[in-house]
Amino acid sequence: MEPITIRKQIEIAAPPIQVWRYVGTAAGLCQWWGVEVIMEEQTGGHFEERGEHEGRPYRQRGEVITYDPPRQLVIRLHEAADRRWPFYAEISISLTGNESVTIVEVEHQAMTETVAVAQQTVSDNPSGPVMALPGYAGAVSVQSGPMSTQPHSHPSLTLQTLYSWRHWQEQIWQQRFGLLSDVVVSMQSDSMQPEAVS
């Protein structure tokens, strides 16, 4: 299995310590990740995503590989709790900057078998319902069908498969980064407002 890697970055007009509040805490991640996040805020801690897919709840488990405030969070996700399909992904979020700006960089790696299985669900049922990421207004969506129940029968990868998966994930990260920037800037604006005098 070879990893497929997506790299994205965004510049946010706030210092890293303020951005970290939304990257290094479960409550902060929930505001822009698109699903509920449970995270033990330490290296080796538990990480979990909870959401809904096609009207059914799902749970994706993993662990915190690196927890280095306010510089880096690395998480590894494994297959869904119901083991409907194999999954392995590692997501690294790094912050660099100064007192006025933070560069947020993400590196998202997924194993090629994960991509193949995800794409197979589309080709098995091309007229299936649209899957939208929960929590996103006007979310990016893809066609999806029933998930494979045979985790070891993977289709061979094609350039079209890889392009489709990469394009979808890049759109997800663009959405997430837009939400992260909005949340941080909004919080910063609120803290700069003068208090009303009574």
What is the CATH classification number for the domain harbouring 34? Answer: 3.30.530.20
DSSP 52-94: EETTEEEEEEEEEEEEETTTEEEEEEEEETT-SS---EEEEEE
| Per-residue DSSP letter, 18 | H
C-alpha span between 63 and 187 (Å, rounded)? 28
Total count of domains within the chain: 1
pLDDT value at residue 89: 87
Per-block average pLDDT, block size 10, for the chain (198 residues)? 84 97 97 95 96 84 96 89 63 97 95 56 43 36 34 49 77 94 88 54
pLDDT value at residue 54: 75
pLDDT value at residue 83: 53
Distances in Å between the Cα of 143 and the Cα atoms of 150, 156, 168, 198 are 20, 20, 11, 55
**Alpha helices for the chain (secondary structure H):** 16-23, 26-30, 112-124, 159-192
167, 6 contact by CB (below 8 A): no
Q: Is residue 31 part of a domain?
A: yes
Q: Is residue 189 part of a domain?
A: no
Q: Is residue 105 part of a domain?
A: yes
Q: Is residue 26 part of a domain?
A: yes
pLDDT value at residue 13: 95
Q: Is residue 95 part of a domain?
A: yes
Q: What is the dihedral of CA 104, 43, 25, 172, to 10 degrees?
A: 50
Q: Is residue 14 part of a domain?
A: yes
* Domain limits for position 106: 3-174
C-alpha span between 95 and 105 (Å, rounded)? 7
C-alpha span between 23 and 67 (Å, rounded)? 10
Q: Is residue 73 part of a domain?
A: yes
Q: Is residue 180 part of a domain?
A: no
pLDDT value at residue 110: 83
